[in-house]
Amino acid sequence: MELAELMSLRPVPGAGVLLTVTGRCPLHCAHCSTASTMASGEPGADQLLRFVGSFEGGGPAVVMLTGGEPLLRPALSAELARTARAAGTRSALLTGAFFAKGARSRSVPIPPPIMRAVTAVDHFSVSIDAFHEREVPRADVFAVLRQALDAGVATSVHAVGSGPGDPYLADVTADIRRTFDDRVPVLVNTLRAVGRAASWSAARAPGPAGRAVLPCAMAAWPVVAADGLVLACCNQDTVDRRPAPAHLTVGHIARDGWAAVAERVTASPALRMIRTVGPSHLLHRYGTSGDGPQPGYCAGCRSLGDHPTVLAAADRLAGGAAGALLDAHVAHEQTAAGPVAFVRRHGADRYADLVALGGAPR
């Protein structure tokens, strides 16, 4: 499964789920969106396996194993991938590659327990950026990528820079292309002011407020948080917020299987409207004069529960077959535009073409 295919599925409601295998991580990257430490929480292995086991009979197209650092639990990650495959669901895994330190000097760069997890998934992604490189050298990460490629695993790199003009991004993407002869696609994003970065970064969350129709594809795939709560949003401020906004909460893996979560994600009128017109348009069009100044895009989405007239309008407009049709149409339009167009909107436009390296459809 190539990165371009993952990006093509991203706007499709219920086509995937992001699964936090653990909230823990041994690295201390200054930009970490989850602010993970080795003291962070993690879901119970039995709950995770039961949830993925519920894919049997009709699961998502893909499950993304993430964290924290999912390869702190390599045996569990491998078992989750195998369980998903048995149900017809493919898997992808994103790692910070803490285990790569010194990899280039080892005859086998990836430790065997971790390699079993790497070969169990259908796609293996590694984060490389200036913050990771302070703890894990780039050459060591490249050694890990080579071993995964040699084993026949589809791989990619997730890179982050301070902005599209960051010289680091120009350097690292050129190095990846040269080293791997354009066989390893790259998803490039810019720094967000969330997690640890919120305390020092001048970056702003994407998506301006206003009346414009700006669909949010990030409300398409549910996210299983480290405490087992399932949210219909991957914005880290939303994933970490407790109590979570009711209109963005779609279950808990201790009590809900995939069928129930998928039904709530795809059938919720509020989520349909967030995906088709965006929260800012909803607030502008259906809020009341006493609502005060409109917050930013993501903050406005989290606040929708405080605006009963907005949620009532969503129920009225998207609660039936017409709402389901509109939701499906918007997802189809984004998918038809291709993965590069999707990344141009949600990632770093200058580097969007890199998502299709390796001959993947654009």
Residue 261 confidence (pLDDT): 98
Report pLDDT for 290. 61
CA atoms within 13 A on the CB side of 243: 5
Alpha carbons within 13 A on the beta-carbon side of 102: 4
pLDDT digits (tens, 9 = 90+) for 177-204: 999 999 999 999 987 655 554 554 454 4
Mean pLDDT of 118-131: 95
pLDDT bracket for residue 253 (50, 70, 90): very high
Strands (E), 15-122: 16-20, 62-66, 90-95
Per residue in 72-116, pLDDT tens?
Answer: 999 999 999 999 999 999 999 999 999 999 999 999 999 999 999
Residue 205 binned pLDDT confidence (cut-offs 50, 70, 90)? very low
Whole-number Cα distances in Å, 16 to 60, 217, 309 = 5, 12, 31
Tokens (6 digits) for 18: 């992001």
- Whole-model pTM: value is 0.92
Q: Which of 247, 251, 226, 246 is nearest to 236 (CA)?
A: 226
pLDDT in tens, 290-319: 666 667 899 999 999 999 999 999 999 999
How far apart CA 156 and CA 26 sit, in angstroms, is 22
d(CA 347, CA 324): 27
β-pairing, 123-129 with 155-161?
parallel
Residue spans of the domains in the chain: they are 3-232+338-356
The three-class DSSP label of residue 189 is strand
Plot region of 152 (φ>0 → left; ψ -120 to 50 → alpha; else → beta):
left
Query: In the prediction, which pLDDT does 34 show?
Result: 76
The residues near 201 (Cβ < 8 Å, ≥ 6 apart) are 31, 191, 192, 193
Cα separation, 266 vs 207, in Å, equals 22
Sheet of 186-190: strands edge to edge? Answer: 186-190, 155-161, 123-129, 90-95, 62-66, 16-20, 223-224, 229-231, 249-252
DSSP state of 207: S
Going by pLDDT thresholds of 50, 70 and 90, the confidence category of residue 164 is: confident
As a CATH number, domain 3-232+338-356 is 3.20.20
Is the pLDDT at 33 greater than 80, yes or no? no
